[in-house]
A and B are shown apart, each in its own frame.
Chain A
């Protein structure tokens, strides 16, 4: 496999892993949602994300040339091999934390996929176009909750501020890039993260203003996801997600 294929594999892995890990986190809410409609909403969003992950991981597998399927990639990699953005693996916490995390990531995915639709790689462009339609609904759903919580009761306002305080330090990681991005941007395949960042900042500010919330002053950021450096939470998440295929190698539905 060429250097280009390797880069495309790595790039697809980052996209697919972020969708997969966030999808797994949301699935933890299944049967525990605060109201029936929200239980259904979060599992639907989870389903969209896992569907996206399947397509991007399959494409990563085709490009890396190691003959690994979407299942091999999802179930047989260690935490250090995962390339999901750190935000996705953060615990659900209360509903404010789940929704702030969702809002940050859905807005990120929205502008990321908007740019990726222009990719010269036809598969990535098509997957981006498909994912974008789904993410459009996720942005609306999470924005509405952020506004309702922020501009709601004193209690919901305080809890939302706490959630922002917990999660803000992972927002820088969303936009980290390395040589894979640089090479693929040159080839017209990857997106310019500065554009994504600019649009993301604008949208976060706009919704926070409606929600009577303020964007924190830039502070200490934790990064490293694209190098496989994760928070402690990912290992625990993977142990639950991977237990079945690891206990019964080669198991099929």
Chain B
């Protein structure tokens, strides 16, 4: 039984532009949350991966995907969360990093594979591009961000932590 007139690629494109619920300027595709769409035995399977283990946006993203699929009369589907391979901030596209910066969030740097980089790095101010910044709090407005302050333009800003 074929439940959909769409191909895997078409379904992927339908949901790729869903904005992140907490950072609406970037999409779930930009972030690397949307992994894959498969059609198996007439059933659509959407694979997503969390940025952080406890990311509360995952449920909202699942619901957004379900809404779009149902609107397109795709009713036999499953949204599955997968953990391997493990998401890293390296999966955020360069284009998306630029969007983050324009939005006022300092984007993560490459590469997260070296754990020293997680903790020791220069964070640039998204407003004035200065590297003269200080950490106010390692934990910010969402689980994926830290709070910094620029010593030059004096603006506080969010930094997307390396993972």
Asked if B143 and A47 make an inter-chain contact with CB atoms under 8 angstroms apart, the answer reads yes
Asked whether, in the complex, the Cβ of A48 is within 8 Å of the Cβ of B137, the reply is: no
Interface hub of A37, A50, A129, A137 (most chain B Cβ within 10 A): A137
Contacting B139 at CB < 8 Å: which of A37, A122, A136? A37
Is B159 an interface position by the 8 A CB rule?
A: no
Min Cβ gap B128→A in Å is 23
B54: contacting residue among A47, A122, A133, CB under 8 A: A47
Interface size class of B (residues with CB under 8 A): 20 to 34
The A/B interface has a contact count, at CB < 8 Å, of 73
Residues of B contacting A126 in the complex (Cβ-Cβ under 8 angstroms):
83-86
B138 touches A41 (CB 8 A): yes
Contact across chains for B84 and A41 when beta carbons are under 8 A apart: no
- B101 interfacial by beta-carbon distance below 8 Å: no
Of the stretches B19-27, B38-46, B111-119, the one at the interface is B111-119
**Contact indicator per residue, chain A 19-35, by CB within 8 Å of chain B (1) or not (0):** 00000000000000000
B interface footprint on A133-146 (CB within 8 Å = 1, 0 otherwise): 11011001100000
B161 close to chain A: CB less than 8 A: yes
Check A141/B138 contact, CB under 8 A, given A130-B53, A133-B163, A134-B53: yes
B141 partner residues in chain A, CB cutoff 8 A: 40
| Cα of A55 to Cα of B86 in the assembled complex, Å | 13
Contact check, B86 vs A130: say whether CB atoms are below 8 A apart: yes
Contact, CB under 8 Å: A48 / B118: no
Known interface pairs A37-B137, A40-B139, A140-B138. Does A130 touch B83 (Cβ–Cβ under 8 Å)? yes
Instruction: Report B24-52 residues with CB < 8 Å from chain A CB.
Output: 50, 52
Which residues of B113-140 have CB atoms within 8 Å of chain A's CB atoms? 115, 118-119, 136-140
- A116 located at the interface, meaning its Cβ lies under 8 Å from any Cβ of chain B in the complex: no
Are the C-beta atoms of B54 and A130 separated by less than 8 Å? no
Contact status A41-B137, CB under 8 Å: yes
Which residues of chain A come closer than 8 Å to B112, judged between CB atoms? 133
Write out the residue numbers on chain B whose beta carbons fall within 8 Å of the beta carbon of A166: none
The number of residues on chain A lying at the interface, defined by a beta carbon within 8 Å of a beta carbon of chain B, is 28
- CB neighbours (8 Å) of B84 from chain A are 122-123, 125-126
Given A40-B139, A41-B138, A51-B50, the answer on whether A136 and B115 have CB atoms closer than 8 Å is yes
A134 to B54, CA, bound (A): 10
| Chain A residues, CB < 8 A from B138 | 41, 137, 140-141
Which residues on the B side are within 8 Å of A130 (C-beta)? 50, 53, 83, 86-87
B143 touches A44 (CB 8 A): yes
Give the residues in chain A near B139, CB-CB below 8 Å: 37, 40-41, 44-45, 137, 141
Chain A residues closer than 8 Å to B143, beta-carbon distance: 44, 47-48
**Residues from 149 to 163 in B contacting A, C-beta threshold 8 Å:** 161, 163
Offer 29 A-B interface pairs, CB within 8 angstroms, sorted by A.
Answer: A37-B136, A37-B137, A40-B137, A40-B139, A41-B137, A44-B139, A45-B139, A47-B54, A51-B52, A51-B54, A52-B53, A52-B54, A54-B54, A55-B53, A122-B84, A123-B83, A126-B86, A127-B83, A130-B83, A130-B86, A131-B53, A132-B115, A133-B88, A133-B112, A134-B53, A136-B115, A136-B119, A137-B119, A137-B138
Not counting A40-B140, A137-B139, a sample of 9 additional A-B residue pairs whose C-beta atoms are within 8 angstroms of each other reads A41-B137, A51-B52, A51-B53, A52-B54, A123-B83, A126-B83, A126-B84, A134-B53, A136-B118
